[in-house]
Amino acid sequence: MESIDIKTPSKQYPVFLGTQVIEQLPFFIEKNYSDITKILIISDEKVASIHLHTVKELVEKTGKQVLEYIVPEGEHAKTFDVFYQCQSFALANGLNRKSMILALGGGAVGDVAGFVAATFMRGIPFIQLPTTLLAHDSAVGGKVAINHPEGKNMIGAFYQPEAVFYELSFLHTLPEKEIRSGFAEVIKHALIQDLDFYKWLISEIQDLTAITDEQYLYMIKRGIEIKASIVQEDEKETGVRAYLNFGHTLGHAVEGLLGYGNFTHGEAVLIGCVYALKLSQHRVRLDFDVVEFTEWVQSLGYKTFIPKQLDHASLIQKMKKDKKTISDTITFVLLNEVGSPVLVEIEDGHIMKQIEEMI
């Protein structure tokens, strides 16, 4: 079992990572939260059908009352309605400030459950129990949110969990599409911070359905460490945390215009990464073998072109509405080299030209 400490200005908390780590959860709760009386597990339909029984049985060992609330899968969990329903369920079942929320699922469940925890009676503790590879990204950093029709994650908070229990055996049940979504963030973390990690990935990972527990342990650990080192410096996203947005400027726009849920987050981000790499070559003279990269990711099943049905002007409009866009000119995270990101404002004309090279 690995234990990584995440330090932010507002809080420090551990990420426990490995196989069978979930079995430590009841002891952790008993030891640190003896005054908690009710525990609400929020999970989604699919994850609940596979893992809820196990987790609930484990948590019931604490002797505390354990409740469950099941939300829809994926981004459908991140609506205002579902957020409100969670709050109503919690109130109807007598949760109070001595209650705790467990988020059992992927990034979407973590986002909505975390935002419920952040706002229920102005904030109660929550623990993340990620079940996806993508969640290695979302479970660290304290960003919780729901979506608005005008954009993803538009309403939310910075709210850190008490702990993350990352049970690797949960990943065995992941469909390949979900692994692909999460692995894009692993690639991103390597690209923005660690050339050796990138080299390890490109040489080790040839088949997303054959990743071993050891490989998962290493890549998730490195991904979390990289993210944590950045979040540590910049909890509220005012500075270097922007580097984590590599691939996300275009990625979010692609994801948003295709409709959340129709294209996974990671698949969209990967297209954004290819775009940002090409832009980096033109604008900051990145020396990088983009051909080798695109061949590798294509072999893993990623698309590396902008979907034909997307209107280019709409993509640019969407990027301008991104909450990280603060002026009328769009800022991209580019790479001077692998491991060395930089923020660059790009004029609309250049953005368009680069898009047209990627259809």
State the residues that interact with a copy of itself by CB under 8 A: 10, 37, 80, 84, 87-88, 91-92, 94, 96-98, 118-123, 143, 145, 148, 150-151, 153-158, 236-237, 321, 323-327
**148 belongs to an annotated ligand binding site:** no
| Closest separation in Å from C-beta 322 to a copy of itself | 8
- Smaller CB distance to a copy of itself: residue 40 or 118? 118
Pick between residue 227 and residue 278 the one whose CB is nearest to a copy of itself: 227
Smallest separation (angstroms) from a copy of itself to the CB of 253: 15
Sign for the CA dihedral angle at 237, 238, 243, 247 comes to positive
- Closer residue to a copy of itself, CB minimum distance, 234 or 337: 234
C-beta of 358: minimal distance to a copy of itself in Å? 26
Beta strands at 151-158 and 99-105: parallel, antiparallel or unpaired: unpaired
Per the annotation, does 265 bind a ligand? yes
Residue with tokens 């993350």: 164
Give min distance, CB of 314 to a copy of itself, in A. 16
Residue 104 Cα distances to 52, 276, 292, angstroms = 8, 33, 37
Backbone angle region of 132, left / alpha / beta, with phi > 0 → left and psi within -120 to 50 → alpha: beta
Q: Which is nearer to a copy of itself, 11 or 172 (CB)?
A: 11
In angstroms, the CA 114 to CA 160 distance is: 8
Q: What is the smallest separation between the CB atom of 121 and a copy of itself, expressed in angstroms?
A: 4
**Which one-letter DSSP state was computed for residue 207?**
-
Nearer to a copy of itself, 50 or 157 (CB): 157
CB of 31 or CB of 122, closer to a copy of itself: 122
State yes or no: 77 annotated in a binding site.
yes
| Three-class DSSP category at 205 | coil
Angle at 58 between CA 52 and CA 64, to 5 degrees: 105
Structure tokens at 17: 């990572």
Minimum distance from residue 90 beta carbon to a copy of itself (Å)? 9
Instruction: Confirm whether residue 242 is marked as ligand binding.
Output: no
In the complex, least distance from residue 331 CB atom to a copy of itself, rounded to whole angstroms: 12
Nearer to a copy of itself, 11 or 312 (CB): 11
8 labelled ligand-binding: no
d(CA 95, CA 359): 51
Residue (51 or 318) nearer to a copy of itself, CB: 318
Please indicate if the annotation marks 109 as binding a ligand: yes
357 is in an annotated binding site: no
Neighbouring-strand partners of residue 110 = none
Q: Buried (b) or exposed (e) across 96-122, using 16+ Cβ within 10 A?
A: eeebbbbbbbbbbbbbbbbbbbbbbee
The distance of closest approach from Cβ of residue 84 to a copy of itself in the complex, given in angstroms and rounded to an integer, is 6
Rounded to the nearest 10 degrees, the angle between the axes of helix 25-32 and helix 53-60 is 40
Name the residue among 251, 238, 247, 200 with its Cα closest to residue 221: 200
**CA-closest candidate to residue 165, choices 32, 22, 43:** 22
* 173 known ligand binder: yes
Phi-psi region of 29 (alpha: psi -120 to 50; beta: other; left: phi over 0): alpha
Q: Is 339 annotated as a binding residue?
A: no
Flag whether 304 is marked binding: no
Work out the number of other CB atoms within 10 angstroms of the CB of residue 260.
18
In this structure, the strands spanning 163-167 and 330-337 are unpaired
- Binding residues, as ranges, are 73-78, 107-111, 131-132, 143, 152, 170-173, 185, 248, 265
- Binding residues for NAD(+), as ranges, are 73-78, 107-111, 131-132, 143, 152, 170-173
